[in-house]
Chain A
Amino acid sequence: MLGEGIIKGMVETARNFVGSYSDPERLTTVEYPEDKIPAKENARNFPFLVYDGDDAARGLRCVACQICEKECPPKCIYIVKSKDKKPDYIGKPQFYPAVFDIDVSVCMSCQICVEVCPFEAIKMDTEFELSNPDRFGGLLQDKHRLAKSNEYYHKIHETEAAEVDARLAAEKAKAEAKARADAEAKAAAAAKAATAAATPKPAPNPTTVAPAK
């Protein structure tokens, strides 16, 4: 009959109305500034730079390759490469960013910088309370504010960080194995050279071995 559906609907809404008073379970609202729910693991909002160890300046993974700067669609990353080098996690000397700025107001949280970074140096943060009373300086985050420890990364994206760590460890092990193999080969060659010292052929210069990679 005409109007039956409306009556049914009104009963349903009345049930909601009464139910929301008698049964707080029904209310889905989280009263935000007072209550917060922890961010979901897959949440993402704004990138940060990962560093290993305790010292942000020394452990920063970023090698200032500037790939992310070029790929960022709204062009909100600004990098100045360093003049000198510092060792990376394997021990190989690398450049590091002298300046690394990201503009919060421009970033669109697309995660492209994270996808393109070959060094697992930039990751997405779940922090979303980025508002700031200073609309110039406060919204431009420099490398000191962007740098966050690997432990923090583990805390917010547990699975992903474990994967990244495994990959880095594998790479490091591979590099070490290669270095060891190289060193052995070098030693063998040196020994061979030593045994063949009588011959006039010059031995290979031990200092010009290619860096381990």
Chain B
Amino acid sequence: MIIGEFFRGLFLMIWRVATDQPEAKADLLAVFPPSARPVISAVLTVSPIIGIFATLFALTTLLERKGLGRIQNRLGPNRVGPFGILQPVADGLKMLTKEDIIPRSADALVHFLAPVVLAVPTILAFAVLPYGRNLVPVDMDAGILFFFAVGASTELAIFMAGWSSRNKYSLLGAMRAIAQMISYEIPLIISSVSVIMIAGSLSPVEIIAQQGRYLAGGFVPHWFVLTPWGLAGFIMFLIASLAESNRSPFDIPEAESELIAGHLTEYSGFKYALFFMAEYFGMFAVSGLAVTLFLGGWHAPFEFLEIVPSYVWFFAKLMGLVCLFIWVRGTVPRLRVDQLLNFAWKFMLPLSLLNLVVAAVWHFTAAWEFPGAGLGRWLLGAVMIGVPYVWLGRALSGSKKITQRTYRFAD
């Protein structure tokens, strides 16, 4: 009897998730005694998140290797299984069977804790993202704030890893990571603040709800990325999130030509795999937030496509951003540390602050009533952010003239 109820609940849950209905877990939870329900409910929410993102992680590593290969006119991995699609399985097995080496002079406890401390906040960050119309693990009023708070604590783990390894490369990598992450945290947050200002809410669900309208007969979505401040904010958010997730061209904390692997140098086996996974999870989380803030979350690009289940759109946009990250990685060479910090403090920070002003102007010109007001508003915003961009770009890159280098001592 109770088993029948259980399977009915399970089936209903899967059906409701697949068809975008609310209260998916209700029938399944009713089978359990009330005291056990919160725990069961949490497990039911958490396990698919971890499962889905772990699968995505495996998929992305393959996609990345294949894509980078093609970008460099190579074939990429093609040995394990048809077209190499089983490569992630082989990689995973290899990682798990490797010896776990702890350097003799390392601080063993901190060395062990670092990957764990890294994995927890990266997974926590998934808690507040709305994956679909009714798929919000935790509908928090201050979800964005929560996201940034847990995201910032990954820096601690990276520094723990670098410090406890007792290796100069690890430590240098960790220091660079700290400098980079702290510098880019600021433009990352400020560029999302403009969205929060316009939406007037810190809740991801509310922010997505505000992007759920369609203009021009259902063919232009009301996504924030289609406004001048939103576009600028989106681009800055992407750049900053590249740096946050330590990806090329901002991979200087683990620049292999300079630092071996930075804070990962002394890690092997499953701990290394955890770091690696956390890095990709961080990328997914921050792309998920970019989708939420700027790309309309789970909303379809056109009104008539809303019949497709909402989570499909979310994950499609997420994977689109991930592919963009891979593309950038295949294109742009790594920055120097000084270039990186200059870029963060002299370029990203002023522009993201200015973007707040543009967002404010956008907000107050919403009341404009004359003909062509929409276009005028758009152009005003675009000029307000575009002119300083060009000017700042000139001022920062044109200050140094490239001259012939003379070698005073070598000649």
User: Are B328 and A10 in touch, CB under 8 angstroms?
Assistant: yes
Q: At the interface, yes or no: A82 with Cβ under 8 Å from chain B?
A: no
User: Are B73 and A10 in touch, CB under 8 angstroms?
Assistant: no
Q: Return chain A residues, CB-CB under 8 Å to B70.
A: 16-17, 20-21
Give CA–CA (A61, B396) in the complex, Å. 71
* A16 touches which of B71, B390, B393, B397 (Cβ 8 Å): B71
Per-residue CB proximity of B308-344 to A under 8 Å, as 1/0?
0000000000000000000110111000000000000
How far in angstroms is the closest Cβ of chain A from B116?
37
A44-93 at interface with B (beta carbon < 8 Å): none
Q: At the interface, yes or no: B405 with Cβ under 8 Å from chain A?
A: no
Among A1-9, A106-114, A151-159, A163-171, the stretch in contact with B? A1-9
Q: Return chain A residues, CB-CB under 8 Å to B148.
A: none
How far in angstroms is the closest Cβ of chain B from A155?
31
Known contacts A10-B331, A31-B75; 20 further A-B pairs (Cβ under 8 A): A2-B389, A2-B392, A2-B394, A3-B393, A6-B331, A12-B331, A13-B327, A14-B327, A16-B71, A16-B72, A17-B67, A17-B71, A17-B330, A20-B74, A21-B70, A27-B75, A28-B73, A28-B74, A29-B74, A29-B75
Q: At the interface, yes or no: A26 with Cβ under 8 Å from chain B?
A: yes
How far in angstroms is the closest Cβ of chain A from B32?
50
Please name the 7 residue pairs, one residue from A and one from B, whose CB atoms are nearest each other, closest first: A2-B393, A13-B331, A13-B71, A9-B331, A17-B70, A20-B70, A26-B73
Give CA–CA (A3, B75) in the complex, Å. 29
User: Are A16 and B73 in touch, CB under 8 angstroms?
Assistant: yes
Q: Return chain A residues, CB-CB under 8 Å to B71.
A: 13, 16-17
Q: Return chain A residues, CB-CB under 8 Å to B72.
A: 16
User: Are B73 and A1 in touch, CB under 8 angstroms?
Assistant: no
How far in angstroms is the closest Cβ of chain A from B62?
16
User: Are B390 and A13 in touch, CB under 8 angstroms?
Assistant: no
Give CA–CA (A16, B73) in the complex, Å. 6
Size of the A side of the interface (Cβ < 8 Å), in residues, is 19
Q: Can you list 13 A-B pairs, Cβ within 8 angstroms, ordered by A?
A: A1-B390, A2-B390, A2-B393, A3-B393, A10-B327, A10-B328, A14-B327, A20-B74, A21-B70, A27-B73, A27-B75, A28-B73, A28-B74
Give CA–CA (A28, B332) in the complex, Å. 22
> Can you name the residue of chain A whose Cβ is closest to the Cβ of B71?
A13
Q: Return chain B residues, CB-CB under 8 Å to A19.
A: 73
Q: Return chain B residues, CB-CB under 8 Å to A3.
A: 393
Q: Return chain B residues, CB-CB under 8 Å to A27.
A: 73-75
* A2 touches which of B67, B332, B397 (Cβ 8 Å): B397
Most A CB contacts (10 A, CB to CB) among B71, B390, B394 go to B71
> Can you name the residue of chain A whose Cβ is closest to the Cβ of B328?
A10
Q: Return chain A residues, CB-CB under 8 Å to B393.
A: 1-3
Q: Return chain A residues, CB-CB under 8 Å to B392.
A: 2
> Can you name the residue of chain B whose Cβ is closest to the Cβ of A15?
B71
> Can you name the residue of chain A whose Cβ is closest to the Cβ of B398?
A2
Most B CB contacts (10 A, CB to CB) among A1, A3, A9, A13 go to A13
B380-411 at interface with A (beta carbon < 8 Å): 389-390, 392-394, 396-397
Q: Return chain A residues, CB-CB under 8 Å to B330.
A: 13, 17
Give CA–CA (A122, B374) in the complex, Å. 85
Give CA–CA (A28, B69) in the complex, Å. 11
Give CA–CA (A29, B73) in the complex, Å. 8
A22-36 at interface with B (beta carbon < 8 Å): 26-29, 31
Most A CB contacts (10 A, CB to CB) among B70, B74, B332 go to B70
B283-330 at interface with A (beta carbon < 8 Å): 327-328, 330
Q: Return chain B residues, CB-CB under 8 Å to A10.
A: 327-328, 331
How far in angstroms is the closest Cβ of chain A from B398?
10
Per-residue CB proximity of B62-88 to A under 8 Å, as 1/0?
000001001111110000000000000
Q: Return chain B residues, CB-CB under 8 Å to A29.
A: 74-75
Give CA–CA (A93, B90) in the complex, Å. 61
> Can you name the residue of chain A whose Cβ is closest to the Cβ of B324?
A10
Q: Return chain A residues, CB-CB under 8 Å to B390.
A: 1-2
